Amino acid sequence: MSSRIAVDDRCIGALRELKGKREVNTVICRLSDALDTRVLERRGNLTHDELLSGLPAHEPRLVVYDLAFATVDGARRNKILLISWLPRGVAPQHEAPYGHAHAALLEGLDGSPLSVRATELADLDYRRLVCQARARARFRGTSGSIAGSTVSMGRSGALADGAQSASTRRSV
């Protein structure tokens, strides 16, 4: 299989809508059955809990999510996340194509989104994602910044002080 992944026009439009107009905060894509085209599965304004419940338990997905959070001093911030959802037990033939699609999407999203690879829902805990976004904001603009880096979430991640519960907030 070629490492080139085509992109459906609906997927491109949804990503532009998320990045430009901010009318949606979530774009979920999957690969076609032939694993050669990234297609739009869902777009909308989802709470964090809705995002998590929308991810299939045994199928990979690519998610662009506009994470809304508050800084430690209470200022509202947003960070675009690129989530590679590869749940444990996914068919091995899906791993490489989704890896290529993730890399291509990361390259195409300007503004250096925070890249997260997740194998279980706990990897996408709201507080853990906020910790990563806050850490990224602290390092932005410094030499040796982590722009374009991928964060693999693990069970031992620390929770941020003041992180808001996913069930009590609604993303903008």
Where is pLDDT greater, at 24 or 163? Answer: 24
pLDDT digits (tens, 9 = 90+) for 138-156: 765 433 333 344 444 433 3
User: Mean of the per-residue pLDDT values for the chain?
Assistant: 79
Q: What is the pLDDT of residue 134?
A: 87
141 token code pair? 């603009």
- Indicate whether 114 pLDDT > 80: yes
Q: Tens of pLDDT along 87-104?
A: 998 988 999 999 989 888
Statement: the pTM of the whole predicted model exceeds 0.85: no
The answer to whether the CB of 38 falls within 8 A of the CB of 5 is yes
What's 124's DSSP letter? G
Q: Which residues contact 168 (CB under 8 A, 6 or more apart)?
A: none
Residues in the chain: 172
